Structure 1
Amino acid sequence: MNRRHFLRNGSLASLAVGSLTVASCNEVATEKKEPTKLTDDVFKDDFELNEVTIEVLQQKMQSGELTATSITKLYLDRIAAIDKSGPSLNAVIELNPDAIAIAEAMDKERKSGKVRGPMHGIPVLIKDNINTADKMMTTAGASALTGNIAATDAFIVQQLRSAGAVLLGKTNLSEWANFRSERSTSGWSSRGGQTKCPYRLDRNPSGSSAGTGSAVAANLCAVAIGTETNGSIISPSSVNGIVGIKPTVGLLSRTGIIPISATQDTAGPMARTVKDAAIFLAALAGVDEADAVTRNSMGKASKDYSASLATSTLSGKRIGVEQSFLHGHEGVVQLYKNAIETLKAQGAIIIETDLMKSINDIEGEYDVLLYEFKDGVNKYLSTATAPVKSIEEVMAFNKKNEATAMPFFKQEILEKSNAKGDLSSKEYTTALHNILQSRGIIDALLKEHQLDAIAAVSNGVACCIDLINGDYDTGFSFSTPAAIAGYPHITLPMGMVHDLPVGISFMAGAYQEQAIIDIAYVFEQATKHRTKPGFIAAASMG
């Protein structure tokens, strides 16, 4: 999850630091004091698969121009060139030693006439809090979980393998999905170190799906999986100039994913185009008997969220625009105003709304997460192969290994969570009741104005990497309404401010993924705001 959203919504407001006065990223502490200046003389980004889509990759495999094996090798070489050297994004925490073997198996199937679907042979990265029953670890970026090899795949990984995708490896993340410290730096983990934003290398790629966002933006894979509790798909997608979908809670199974919240957690696709995200979403969705919430998706999930895109239109669509985001950083506000004009030009009927005012009055989210994190993580660790079996043991490990496990910030959130009672506690049930009131608020707003979706600025521009003070508020965040309600939310590029991407969001009611995907696709095709990253080094910024 993205800790910054609590700063905006008041749960941790007293902890906000005065980092907004920082003049440039060069003045804040990072792990490397002397950044490398990248120029065309030392780094030319002429990667063969830059900005390639799933559809194009399928065409190239069908024609024989490329194979799943050759594509996989190209991406592995790309990771070696961009992630582990050159810009050194540090987005990938571990590579899958079986990736080539999986690709070769998919090529054999294709040669025999079997193609499983649109994801057949497509290389994918997944976040390191998702179980894979292979040679890779699942650690949530925590050094305390080093050695944790899952016995079974997460349900969504089973779906991924069944679809014929090639699992390239796992991405770095904000440790414990950014639920360890109230002064954390997004994109940093004790196991994986600090991930960088590929647009400006001393900027934060946002969390907690930091590695996933950075990797997709930098063309280290075709598509990737992130997870979100509050903002962890939407924020890194916005900051890294890509498309992210946070589905309705229950569309995708959470079985085998290291949890924060049973109420709010979900995985979701992150991609460079709306169509790729839509294709990938359908491949991951499915009813899982081990995750009871997924039963609610029966009859509501689509087998192909990309099928209607070619005929989608905004003509007559009623879209609410969040008016609170019409104020703030002038560059971001101007992009938002331009986006609203684009929606109008495409035939949408615009209605100003003020959802955030009502949502910000809701109290209890932080308490819900503290209680559910303790319950869920203790259950996960009790059956895992990790050397620690509870949050209490995690905290003891961190204290014993403080120099490496907690060199920049500590573990206040773990301590607060561990101090909570069980899920029968009145404090928990009251807090849960409070946050679920968001559903009624959103549903009433949608009904009152007969809205097809609500639009807003997804997130502000990327903040600086600051390992001393931690993250700071960038002035915009629309993640909380959909997060606490469990409703679907999509972000896609809205434009650039000083070479940094900003996303636009569309959210709607439960299981309205198709509606917001269609709207996002029309906006994407009308604007084409996706911009390949420039890997601008810190030393080149003024």
Structure 2
Amino acid sequence: MFDPTEASLAHLREALADGRITALALTRWYLERIERHNEELRAVIEVNPDAEAEAARLDEGPVRGPLHGIPVLLKDNLDTADRMHTTSGSTVMLGSRPERDATVVARLRAAGAVLLGKANKTSWILGTAGWSARGGQTRNPYDTDRSPHGSSSGSAVGVAANLCAVALGTETIGSILGPAAANCLVGVKPTTGLTSRAGMIPGIPSFDSIGPLARTVADAADVLSVIAGPDPLDGATEGAPTLDYRTFLDGEGLRGMRIGVPRTFFYGYSEAADEIADAALETMRRAGAVIVEGADIATADQFAGPALGAVAMHETAHALGAYLARTPGEHPRTIAALVEANRENAAVELEHFDQDILEMLAGVDPDADDPAYREALATVRRLAGAEGIDAVMDEHRLDALVMPTCPPPWPIDMVEGDPDPHGAALAPGLAGYPAISVPAGWTEGLPVGITFTGRAFSEPVLFRLAHGFERAWPSRRPPAR
């Protein structure tokens, strides 16, 4: 009997093709694991009531694409035009009824994926990573007292605990990379504009992207190959390449590559993560990479300035307000109405944390042509991109940069919330550039990841490096459950 535990997408495809398992049996296997483990982990916010029927139809029809029969979890900010909800973890959004699937979701369906359900996420009022009013507190499968990181918490825990084959997360700054590292996964934050955000409850659109969380680099490449590419519903994707990222996987992918080490993003927030990253650098050297020290991003200390705050407030107010206004159903249609609905349901929605940020957003009246906003966005992009990542890569003739993704998972604290995770996500997030986090090691039973990042649309290079590192230093360890 075929055992899907820790099975790669390639192995699942083989088993489905030769009849060792059916899409329906595979879907039921994951649903049974969700039933067994989700009460403790709180990773899945909702199971698709039509998942088994979808799988049965796939068993009866021709192969649709590379994800045919593969059960996938979706973060609960990705629209589905079916019987599932899209709520961003909010009970006051349960009446939302999107008219169409998010573009990435439609592409998963076209490729034959079984939509298994929606994954919990950090509430849009923020607070503790992985907590939402609707889903409760998602917990790390390696230590349930530890944070799963956020905001794609449930997506990551679902993959790590074998509650699905792969999952989609979304990232503004760190929301894929952090959960990947905290749950011993591969997480891909694509270049902003490589994957369509149409049908996503937005964060900060200039920084938002949608990408896979997976147990291997090859699985992540499989999923990104399906969901990436131009979409007329998202103007940022105009000209986005359509590639098979599996073709860039190379077991010797580190050999001869020049990889820069920005020590600014190492020392100061986690000695354990630094030690694991240093060991990873030595592994890369042995595998033939040229490790270039002193590749610091000169503008790093300017990233978190007033320009970033101005962009965040302007874009979030505009984009979230527009999403609420256009999405059909019985739910708040403005941010001000959302704030009021939360107050009316404070015992649930505001049980642990207040909504200061939403209240601030409700008072913003964004003008899309505001020159101050456009100047602020240009400043953020320049500091992180042209004068940041691009400049240091030009200076040292680099193929990529590498750094620890974030600290090891910290204790969940519903009173004080989370520490500042720092980490590797800030520079590529603000630049809109790609990054891949890969498992790199363990400290006291907790996983630590490293992140490769580079120029816009350099995903082929990053996949080569990530796969080469994964082959040279395999660190994936399934949770004991």
TM-score (ref. length: structure 1): 0.85
CA distance in 1, matches of 2:289, 2:144: 37
Runs of 4 or more above 4 Å deviation? none
Question: Closer, same or farther in 2 for the Cα pair 1:325/1:295, shift >3 Å?
Answer: closer
Which residue among 55, 59, 75 is the counterpart of 1:103? 55
Spell out the pairing of 1:520-535 with structure 2 (5 A cutoff). Answer: 520-534=466-480
CA distance in 2, matches of 1:398, 1:215: 28
Question: Closer, same or farther in 2 for the Cα pair 1:81/1:48, shift >3 Å?
Answer: farther
Structure 1 residues 316-325 or 244-253, which shifts more? 316-325
Spell out the pairing of 1:159-170 with structure 2 (5 A cutoff). Answer: 159-170=107-118
How far is 1:312 from its partner? 4.5
Structure 1 residues 441-450 or 117-126, which shifts more? 441-450
CA distance in 2, matches of 1:213, 1:434: 32
CA distance in 1, matches of 2:207, 2:271: 32
CA distance in 1, matches of 2:474, 2:371: 49
Are the equivalent residues in 1 in contact too, given 2:252–2:287 (CA < 8 A)?
no
Spell out the pairing of 1:477-496 with structure 2 (5 A cutoff). Answer: 477-496=423-442
- Correspondence for 1:59: 14
CA distance in 2, matches of 1:471, 1:356: 26
- Correspondence for 1:209: 152
How far is 1:323 from its partner? 1.3
Local SS of the residue matching 2:276: helix
CA distance in 2, matches of 1:220, 1:194: 17
CA distance in 2, matches of 1:129, 1:311: 35
Local SS of the residue matching 1:170: strand
How far is 1:310 from its partner? 4.1
- Correspondence for 2:348: 404
Local SS of the residue matching 2:390: helix
1:54 corresponds to which letter in structure 2? L
- Correspondence for 1:250: 193
Deviation track 1:110-149 (CA, whole Å, cap 9, x = no partner) reads xxxx323321110000000000000001000012211212
- Correspondence for 1:469: 416
Local SS of the residue matching 2:213: strand
Deviation track 1:267-306 (CA, whole Å, cap 9, x = no partner) reads 1000000000000000111211011111131xx331x111
CA distance in 2, matches of 1:126, 1:468: 29
Are the equivalent residues in 2 in contact too, given 1:124–1:165 (CA < 8 A)?
yes
- Correspondence for 1:154: 102
CA distance in 2, matches of 1:311, 1:206: 30
Are the equivalent residues in 1 in contact too, given 2:55–2:69 (CA < 8 A)?
yes
Are the equivalent residues in 1 in contact too, given 2:248–2:463 (CA < 8 A)?
no
2:385 counterpart of 1:439: yes
Are the equivalent residues in 2 in contact too, given 1:253–1:286 (CA < 8 A)?
yes
CA distance in 2, matches of 1:356, 1:195: 34
2:33 counterpart of 1:78: yes
Are the equivalent residues in 1 in contact too, given 2:295–2:396 (CA < 8 A)?
no
Deviation track 1:385-414 (CA, whole Å, cap 9, x = no partner) reads 242101000000111221111011111111
CA distance in 1, matches of 2:363, 2:293: 43
Local SS of the residue matching 1:103: helix
- Correspondence for 1:430: 375
Deviation track 1:17-51 (CA, whole Å, cap 9, x = no partner) reads xxxxxxxxxxxxxxxxxxxxxxxxxxxxxx93221
Local SS of the residue matching 2:28: helix
Which residue among 418, 440, 453 is the counterpart of 1:507? 453
1:502 corresponds to which letter in structure 2? V
Which residue among 254, 261, 268 is the counterpart of 1:314? 254
1:368 corresponds to which letter in structure 2? V
1:484 corresponds to which letter in structure 2? L
1:136 corresponds to which letter in structure 2? M
Spell out the pairing of 1:380-399 with structure 2 (5 A cutoff). Answer: 380-384=323-327, 385-399=329-343
Local SS of the residue matching 2:261: strand
Spell out the pairing of 1:262-281 with structure 2 (5 A cutoff). Answer: 262-281=205-224
How far is 1:444 from its partner? 1.7
CA RMSD of the aligned region, Å? 1.5
Deviation track 1:83-120 (CA, whole Å, cap 9, x = no partner) reads 13xxx1000000001111111111112xxxx3233211
CA distance in 2, matches of 1:333, 1:477: 11
Are the equivalent residues in 2 in contact too, given 1:53–1:273 (CA < 8 A)?
yes
How far is 1:357 from its partner? 5.0
Are the equivalent residues in 2 in contact too, given 1:325–1:333 (CA < 8 A)?
no
Stretches of structure 2 that go unaligned for 5 or more consecutive residues are none
Stretches of structure 1 that go unaligned for 5 or more consecutive residues are 1-46, 536-542
1:264 corresponds to which letter in structure 2? F
CA distance in 1, matches of 2:10, 2:51: 21
Question: Closer, same or farther in 2 for the Cα pair 1:525/1:402, shift >3 Å?
Answer: same
Aligned residues: 473
Structure 1 residues 55-64 or 411-420, which shifts more? 411-420
Question: Closer, same or farther in 2 for the Cα pair 1:99/1:147, shift >3 Å?
Answer: same
- Correspondence for 1:232: 175
1:96 corresponds to which letter in structure 2? N
Deviation track 1:234-254 (CA, whole Å, cap 9, x = no partner) reads 000111110000000111000
- Correspondence for 1:348: 289
Question: Closer, same or farther in 2 for the Cα pair 1:223/1:417, shift >3 Å?
Answer: same
- Correspondence for 2:464: 518
Spell out the pairing of 1:5-20 with structure 2 (5 A cutoff). Answer: none
2:289 counterpart of 1:359: no
Structure possessing the higher relative contact order (Cα contacts under 8 Å, 6 or more residues apart)? 1
How far is 1:311 from its partner? 5.7
How far is 1:420 from its partner? 2.2
Local SS of the residue matching 2:247: coil
CA distance in 1, matches of 2:319, 2:87: 15
Which residue among 41, 47, 71 is the counterpart of 1:89? 41
CA distance in 2, matches of 1:333, 1:229: 24
Question: Closer, same or farther in 2 for the Cα pair 1:153/1:471, shift >3 Å?
Answer: same
1:101 corresponds to which letter in structure 2? A
- Correspondence for 1:19: none
How far is 1:366 from its partner? 2.6
Deviation track 1:196-250 (CA, whole Å, cap 9, x = no partner) reads 0001001110110010111111010000000000000000011111000000011
1:81 corresponds to which letter in structure 2? R
Are the equivalent residues in 2 in contact too, given 1:55–1:118 (CA < 8 A)?
no
Question: Closer, same or farther in 2 for the Cα pair 1:160/1:491, shift >3 Å?
Answer: same
How far is 1:534 from its partner? 3.1
Are the equivalent residues in 2 in contact too, given 1:326–1:337 (CA < 8 A)?
no
TM-score (ref. length: structure 2): 0.96
Are the equivalent residues in 2 in contact too, given 1:278–1:306 (CA < 8 A)?
yes
- Correspondence for 1:11: none
Are the equivalent residues in 1 in contact too, given 2:168–2:213 (CA < 8 A)?
yes
Deviation track 1:57-79 (CA, whole Å, cap 9, x = no partner) reads 01111111101111000000010
CA distance in 2, matches of 1:375, 1:104: 42
Which residue among 299, 305, 315 is the counterpart of 1:372? 315
CA distance in 2, matches of 1:293, 1:360: 28
